[in-house]
């Protein structure tokens, strides 16, 4: 039986990138002591108050059909929150609600790009971005994010890749996998290009509440000159340790949201009312767990860097936010993929090769910072031991 063009465009994406993760799971199932640092899950449960609110809403009958834009009570809460964050007025009709950031990004991308278009994305990138872009028929154009610029997207690198087919720039700030945060100056410079070439700016901001002490997050929504061409997507998945609830949204110009609404209604028709009530509470009250997660993740990244820099030739890029740290393993002479496989086989620590996130990081690996402290420190000790043993063997 034949399948459609979109099935062909998405063929081969996703699965192979996670081969090492699945191998680690198989080893653990077989009885091997494996410390899994491949996936970033919040290290705390969903706050009990949110579970209670969702349960009360279900029992109160909030289980019917939703408004296609999303429940008004949630959109009002989001509008007030984003107005405060951005310093400019955001209205409920500037917002559409979705089951998670991923769905929001999928819908938004369909509204800005199509067959024959190009979308610029920083490389390394979150694993699903290529599929989201390809699904529209557009082509993903990678923009290398360089370590010497802190893995922050640079306007000159974007400018070199803009063509008449370019329609949008997809930003991730704070960034996954590197944990970098675009500065206001970075965003302003990128915005000038968007204005010059009439481009949309899409901003994935799901880690905005997991910013480490000393760092500052600026949303492109807060830059007045480009605000009418910015669409931000986010959710409560990371900020409120609730990825399974699938509650996200996009914030953008009302004209764009109005135009996208029929597509959204055709696809999913809003989000679940009882989850919307829970999310309204989350937005209005703020997160009781985000600050603790950010502090623990920053501390773990610090211990990782201190131990590896003191005892090995491996070098850690210190993240400013998020759930991950990147390790440069170039001194080993191995690719990130070969190193990760060797690390897993030798000492039972599973990390993700940088090549799983694009072409820019062949000599890097990504480490999740969400492992509880005792196991995290054990993993760091194993990484150090592996590096020392391998260096001695080579010598």
What is the average pLDDT across 175-179?
96
pLDDT digits (tens, 9 = 90+) for 351-377: 999 999 999 999 999 999 999 999 999
What is the average pLDDT across 330-353?
96
pLDDT of 15 reads 63
Tokens representing 331 are 């001194």
pLDDT of 309 reads 98
pLDDT of 290 reads 97
In this structure, what CATH number is given to the domain that contains residue 375? 3.90.1150.10
Give the residue from 285, 304, 332 where a domain finishes.
Answer: 285
Eight-state DSSP code of residue 202? E
Q: Are both 12 and 101 inside the same structural domain? A: no
Q: Are both 310 and 270 inside the same structural domain? A: no
Whole-angstrom distance, CA of residue 273 vs CA of residue 255? 25
Q: Are both 190 and 318 inside the same structural domain? A: no
Q: How many domains does the chain have?
A: 2
In this structure, what CATH number is given to the domain that contains residue 94? 3.40.640.10
Give the residue from 285, 309, 333 where a domain finishes.
Answer: 285
Q: Are both 299 and 346 inside the same structural domain? A: yes
Radius of gyration of the chain (CA): 21
Tokens representing 25 are 């799971």
Q: Are 112 and 260 in contact (CB under 8 A)?
A: no
Give the residue from 285, 318, 349 where a domain finishes.
Answer: 285
Where does residue 68 rank: exposed (0-12), middle (13-18), buried (19+ CB within 10 A)? Answer: middle
How are strands ordered across the β-sheet holding 139-144?
A: 95-98, 248-251, 230-235, 200-204, 166-172, 118-123, 139-144
Tokens representing 102 are 């991923």
Q: Are both 30 and 115 inside the same structural domain? A: no
Cα torsion angle, 369, 374, 375, 379, sign: positive
Q: Please name the residue that has the structure tokens 């131990």.
A: 307
What is the average pLDDT across 299-310?
98
Distance of alpha carbon 139 from the chain centroid:
20
Q: Are both 72 and 129 inside the same structural domain? A: yes
How confident is the prediction for the chain on average, in pLDDT?
A: 95
What is the average pLDDT across 211-218?
97
pLDDT of 40 reads 85
Q: Crossing angle, helix 100-112 and helix 254-267, to 10 degrees?
A: 110
pLDDT digits (tens, 9 = 90+) for 125-153: 998 999 999 999 999 999 999 999 999 99
What is the average pLDDT across 164-192?
97
pLDDT of 268 reads 85
Q: Are both 250 and 319 inside the same structural domain? A: no
Closest CA to 202 of 269, 114, 108: 108
Q: What domain range includes position 12?
A: 5-44+289-394
Whole-angstrom distance, CA of residue 173 vs CA of residue 218? 8
Q: Are both 133 and 210 inside the same structural domain? A: yes
| Phi, psi for 91 (deg, rounded to 5) | -105, 160
Q: Are both 164 and 57 inside the same structural domain? A: yes
Q: Are both 310 and 334 inside the same structural domain? A: yes
pLDDT of 3 reads 81
What is the average pLDDT across 309-315?
97
Tokens representing 240 are 């409120």
Q: Are both 163 and 224 inside the same structural domain? A: yes
Q: Are both 121 and 262 inside the same structural domain? A: yes
Angle at 97 between CA 165 and CA 57, to 5 degrees: 165
């Amino acid at each position: 039986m034949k399948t459609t063009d979109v099935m062909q465009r998405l063929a081969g994406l996703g699965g192979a990138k996670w081969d090492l993760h699945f191998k680690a799971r198989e080893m653990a199932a077989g009885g091997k002591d494996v410390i899994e640092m491949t996936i970033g899950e919040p290290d705390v449960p969903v706050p009990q108050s949110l579970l209670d609110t969702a349960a009360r809403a279900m029992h109160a009958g909030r289980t019917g059909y939703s408004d296609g834009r999303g429940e008004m009570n949630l959109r009002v809460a989001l509008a007030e929150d984003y107005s405060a964050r951005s310093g400019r007025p955001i209205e409920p009709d500037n917002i559409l609600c979705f089951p998670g950031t991923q769905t929001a990004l999928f819908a938004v991308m369909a509204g800005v790009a199509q067959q024959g278009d190009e979308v610029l994305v920083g490389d390394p990138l979150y694993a699903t971005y290529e599929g989201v872009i390809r699904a529209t028929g557009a082509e993903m154009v990678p923009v290398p994010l360089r370590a010497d610029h802190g893995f922050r997207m640079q306007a000159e690198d974007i400018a070199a890749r803009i063509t008449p087919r370019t329609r949008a720039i997809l930003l991730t700030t704070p960034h996954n996998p590197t944990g970098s945060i675009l500065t206001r100056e970075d965003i302003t410079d990128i915005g000038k290009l968007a204005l010059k070439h009439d481009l949309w700016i899409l901003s994935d901001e799901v880690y905005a509440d997991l910013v480490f002490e000393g760092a500052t997050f600026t949303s492109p929504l807060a830059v007045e000159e480009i605000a009418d061409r910015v669409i931000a997507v986010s959710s409560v998945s990371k900020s409120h340790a609730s990825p399974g609830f699938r509650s996200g949204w996009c914030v953008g110009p009302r004209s764009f949201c109005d135009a996208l609404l029929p597509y959204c209604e055709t696809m999913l028709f809003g989000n679940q009312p009882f989850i919307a009530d829970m999310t309204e509470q989350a937005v209005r009250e703020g997160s009781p767990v985000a600050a603790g997660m950010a502090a623990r993740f920053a501390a773990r990244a610090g211990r990782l860097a201190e131990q590896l820099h003191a005892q090995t030739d491996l070098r850690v890029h210190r993240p400013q936010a998020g759930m991950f740290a990147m390790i440069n393993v170039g001194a080993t002479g191995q690719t990130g993929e070969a190193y990760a496989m060797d690390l897993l086989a030798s000492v039972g620590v599973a990390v993700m090769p940088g090549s799983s996130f694009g072409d820019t990081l062949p000599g890097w690996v990504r480490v999740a910072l969400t492992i509880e402290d005792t196991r995290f420190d054990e993993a760091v000790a194993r990484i150090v031991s592996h590096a020392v043993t391998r260096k001695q063997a080579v010598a």
